[in-house]
């Protein structure tokens, strides 16, 4: 099941209303209610579109991590939108966002999730360095192939090199 059912969507809307009420009460500001969309967006659990006041939730990750979405992901994305409404463009996970997460929504200000990504069935490409194999997403692999980007190992700082199989497949 990749699409949330109507009851899930209604529960998400209720959670947003609940969080908006908390923030509006504390800041004494009537925040604009965001639209919610459901589309896969790579490995992201959710994204916030600041200019359109919209939250996008990944339906596959939602179905496999419902509780975490209700406790953290929705608050995370809504915090981005509310901070934008209050302060304009600021650092995405800066002190304003952290304060919104921790003090207003009483949630840890985690910037990433650790969900199992296997249900997404994402294609990855293997590169290597002295540390061993490293996976790159299709988007990053295509940037390497087009000569637009080089990627480096986070541990040894070497440039990642496509494995022999990847190089042969790209010809």
CATH node for 6-118:
3.30.2010.10
User: Do residues 37 and 49 lie in contact, with contact meaning Cβ atoms separated by under 8 Å?
Assistant: no
Task: Supply the pTM of this predicted model.
Answer: 0.74
* Domains of the chain by residue range: 6-118, 123-170
Q: H or E element: which one contains 132?
A: strand 132-137
User: What whole-number distance in Å separates Cα of residue 55 and Cα of residue 47?
Assistant: 6
Residue 77 falls in the annotated catalytic set? yes
Q: Which of 13, 28, 77, 165 is catalytic?
A: 77
Q: What is the pLDDT along the chain (171 residues), one digit of tens a residue?
A: 456 776 799 999 999 999 999 999 999 999 999 999 998 777 888 999 999 999 999 998 898 889 999 999 999 999 999 999 999 999 999 999 999 999 999 999 998 888 877 787 777 889 999 999 988 888 889 999 999 999 999 899 999 998 866 544 544
Structure tokens belonging to residue 60: 């596959």
The DSSP line for 49-73 is: ETTTTEEEE-HHHHHH-HHHIIIII
């Amino acid at each position: 099941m990749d699409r949330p059912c109507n009851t899930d969507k209604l529960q998400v809307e209720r959670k947003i209303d609940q969080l908006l009420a908390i923030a509006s009460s504390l800041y004494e500001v009537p925040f604009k209610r965001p639209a919610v969309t459901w589309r896969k967006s790579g490995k992201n659990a959710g994204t916030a579109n600041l200019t359109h006041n919209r939250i996008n939730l990944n339906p596959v990750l939602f179905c496999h991590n419902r509780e975490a979405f209700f406790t953290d992901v929705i608050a995370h994305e809504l915090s981005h939108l509310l901070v934008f409404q209050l302060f304009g463009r600021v650092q995405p996970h800066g002190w304003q966002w952290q304060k919104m997460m921790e003090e207003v929504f009483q949630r840890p200000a985690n910037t990433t999730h650790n969900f199992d990504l296997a249900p997404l069935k994402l294609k990855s490409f293997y590169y290597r360095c002295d540390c061993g194999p490293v996976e790159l997403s299709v988007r990053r692999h295509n940037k390497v192939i087009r000569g637009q980007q080089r990627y480096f190992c986070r541990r040894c700082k070497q440039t990642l090199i496509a494995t022999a199989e990847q190089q042969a497949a790209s010809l």
